[in-house]
Amino acid sequence: MINDYPLGVIGGMGPKATSVFYDRIIDQTDAHQDQDHLNMVILNHATMPDRTQAILTNQGEKFLDTIKQDFKTLENVGVSNIAIPCNTSHFYYEQLQAMTNIPIIHMVDETVRYIYDQYGSNTKVGILATNGTIRTQIYEQAAKKYQLDLYTPNEAIQSQVMNIIYEDVKGDLSADPQKLEHIIQHLIQKEQCQSVILACTELSCISIKPQLRPYTIDAMDVLVEQAILRSGKQLKNNSISDRMISQNF
């Protein structure tokens, strides 16, 4: 059977981040007419249990039970690859992959490998993520594999990050880009991080100023590029690596 849907997306974590993911797929695909874009199936499962809460309260089974049907749906459609635009959920990657024979793009591993390919080992990299992602150390484990020095923000800054994610973006309030920009600047200037990972898709919803973009690696961008390439399409010239140029504040 010819596969008409090379990509399946389990979204809704959160809905705004899923819409940004879809927009970036469109923007980053080398396409000149409707028919050049890739076919995909997006399940916007907005009622999915909160991933950070599941991790911090040891209630992962509730999350896993809820997402199980989504894999069955995508299997019935016949997608070739699955993307889950939620960093925190990748704590359960092994359990998720065990639920389906369809390859799930590993957002965390692909992001860290991308950083290694760009900077090499022994690079100090900051991470901005949910408490759940930080607690699980999924990025730290991946960073160790590539001999990267992952820097986790202190408690005060981490609290600010969580407020941006949950109160501003998820809470559908006005997200002031300067809040995120100040944190990125702090990690680069004060903590001497060579780059900063935006390791929460809610942070991907915030448009930061162009001067800071070369210093950040957005995990969503990495997932977008992998999703396009694995679906047999080509990237536009403005890929991640094209904007990673040396700049000064």
Catalytic center residues: 86, 200
Burial status of residue 75 (CB atoms within 10 A of its CB: 0-12, 13-18, 19 or more): middle
Distances (CA, A) of 133 to 40, 55, 91, 141: 27, 9, 7, 11
CA-atom Rg of the chain in angstroms: 17
Task: Choose among 60, 70, 224: nearest CA to 132.
Answer: 60
154 residue type, one letter: N
Check residue 152 and report its DSSP letter: P
Distances (CA, A) of 121 to 53, 108, 124, 134, 221: 33, 17, 9, 21, 21
Burial status of residue 84 (CB atoms within 10 A of its CB: 0-12, 13-18, 19 or more): buried
How many Å separate Cα 79 from the centre of its chain? 20
The partner residues of 81 in beta bridges, in order of sequence, read: 7
Tokens for 237? 């010239």
